[in-house]
């Protein structure tokens, strides 16, 4: 019995420091936020129990309903964009033989830059007299107000976030591509399968675990996007980029309504969980 328990106990000791940090900085704050959402918590530390009043307040809050719609639209635009960019660049890097490390570093470079710095640079690019409109003017195209049009602001912000964040997912997918045995692809090539058939029948099924990880990570990232929006639009124009996470910031750090801010955070947590489970179910169905 002692010999049988030695390996699990040894493994537990190795992961214990990270497990303790995870409990302190992830689980306990989440439980604390769930409890705070049932209270009217003031900045002074005084609080009173209000039960489900904060959740009932959500249904009558037009800002919440609008921010929920904006968040879902942003996620629907950002996630396919960043996953396709990561998958495309991973496939290209997997095929490159010459100077592969240099190309990998160049494509990963935006990921290590600051969100604030990226937002400032891209805000200048998107401005009415900025770089992008300057290029459009040379092509005799009228200037476009990318950050001042309600219909354009979310795609513009999603493009910036995708440019900034696709490098991490690219490396995950590239590692997944490297794990696929070359003999599978060579056998398919000998059997006459073209590039699309090899990708669809061999690469994509074997890449599904890495793809699921990327989808979940990027979905969570999309729901939590704040820095870019704060720097570039401040939730405007006319709250066209006012997301749930921005609403949490306003309620908590502008109006100091911590109970209601915690309620929005719990709703955001539940929304991310549901979307992740749906993604998992869809990918599991594709494996059958």
Residue 155 contacts residue 233 (beta carbons within 8 Å)? no
C-alpha span between 96 and 103 (Å, rounded): 9
DSSP-based three-state secondary structure for 39: strand
41 secondary structure, DSSP code = E
pLDDT digits (tens, 9 = 90+) for 121-139: 999 999 888 888 888 888 8
Q: What is the pTM of this model?
A: 0.88
Alpha carbons 228 and 223: distance in angstroms, whole number = 13
User: What are the beta bridge partners of residue 48?
Assistant: 40
pLDDT value, residue 287: 57
Q: Per-residue pLDDT averaged across 103-113, rounded?
A: 88
Q: Give CA–CA dist 242/219, Å, rounded.
A: 17
pLDDT tens track for 149-202: 999 999 999 999 999 999 999 999 999 999 888 888 888 888 888 888 888 888
CB atoms within 10 A of CB 65: 12
- The Cβ of residue 88 has, within 10 Å, a number of other Cβ atoms equal to 13
Question: What pLDDT does 168 receive?
Answer: 93
SS3 of 258-274: the string is HHHHHHHHHHHHHHHHH
pLDDT digits (tens, 9 = 90+) for 35-87: 999 999 888 888 899 888 999 999 888 899 999 999 999 999 999 999 999 99
Q: Which two tokens stand for residue 235?
A: 């939730």
Domain definitions of the chain by residue range: 61-287
**Residue of 104, 78, 102 lying closest to 90 (CA atoms):** 104
Distinct helix (H) and strand (E) counts, the chain: 15, 2
SS3 assignment, position 47: strand
Give me the mean pLDDT over the 95-107 stretch.
83
- Residue 54's φ and ψ, nearest 5 degrees, are -65, -35
Q: Are 93 and 100 in contact (CB under 8 A)?
A: yes
Token code pair at residue 260: 């209601």
As assigned by CATH, the class of the 61-287 domain is mainly alpha
How many Å separate Cα 39 from the centre of its chain? 30
Q: Is 145 helix (H, G, I), strand (E, B) or coil?
A: coil
- At 266 the pLDDT is 93
pLDDT given for residue 192 in this prediction: 85
By three-state DSSP, how is residue 40 classified? strand
């Amino acid at each position: 019995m002692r010999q049988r328990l030695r390996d699990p106990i040894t493994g537990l000791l190795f992961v214990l420091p990270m497990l303790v940090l995870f409990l302190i900085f992830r689980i306990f704050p989440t439980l604390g936020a769930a409890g705070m959402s049932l209270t009217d918590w003031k900045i002074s530390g005084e609080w009173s129990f209000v039960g489900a009043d904060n959740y009932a307040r959500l249904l009558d809050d037009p800002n919440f309903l609008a921010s929920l719609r904006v968040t879902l639209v942003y996620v629907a635009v950002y996630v396919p964009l960043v996953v396709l960019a990561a998958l495309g660049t991973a496939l290209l890097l997997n095929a490159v033989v010459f100077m592969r490390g240099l190309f990998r570093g160049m494509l990963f470079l935006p990921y290590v830059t600051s969100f604030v710095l990226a937002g400032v640079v891209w805000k200048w690019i998107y401005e009415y007299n900025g770089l992008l409109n300057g290029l459009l003017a040379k092509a005799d195209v009228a200037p476009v107000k990318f950050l001042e049009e309600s219909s354009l602001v979310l795609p513009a912000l999603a493009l910036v976030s995708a440019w900034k964040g696709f490098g991490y997912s690219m490396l995950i997918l590239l590692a997944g591509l490297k794990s696929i045995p070359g003999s599978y692809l060579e056998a398919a090539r000998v059997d006459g399968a073209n590039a699309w058939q090899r990708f669809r029948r061999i690469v994509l099924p074997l890449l599904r675990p890495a793809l699921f990880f990327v989808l979940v990570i990027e979905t969570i990232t999309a729901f939590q996007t704040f820095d870019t929006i704060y720097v570039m639009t401040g939730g405007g124009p006319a709250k066209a980029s006012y997301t749930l996470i921005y609403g949490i910031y306003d309620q908590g750090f502008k109006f100091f309504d911590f109970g209601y801010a915690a309620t929005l955070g719990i709703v955001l947590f539940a929304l991310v969980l549901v979307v992740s489970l749906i993604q998992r179910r869809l990918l599991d169905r594709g494996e059958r």
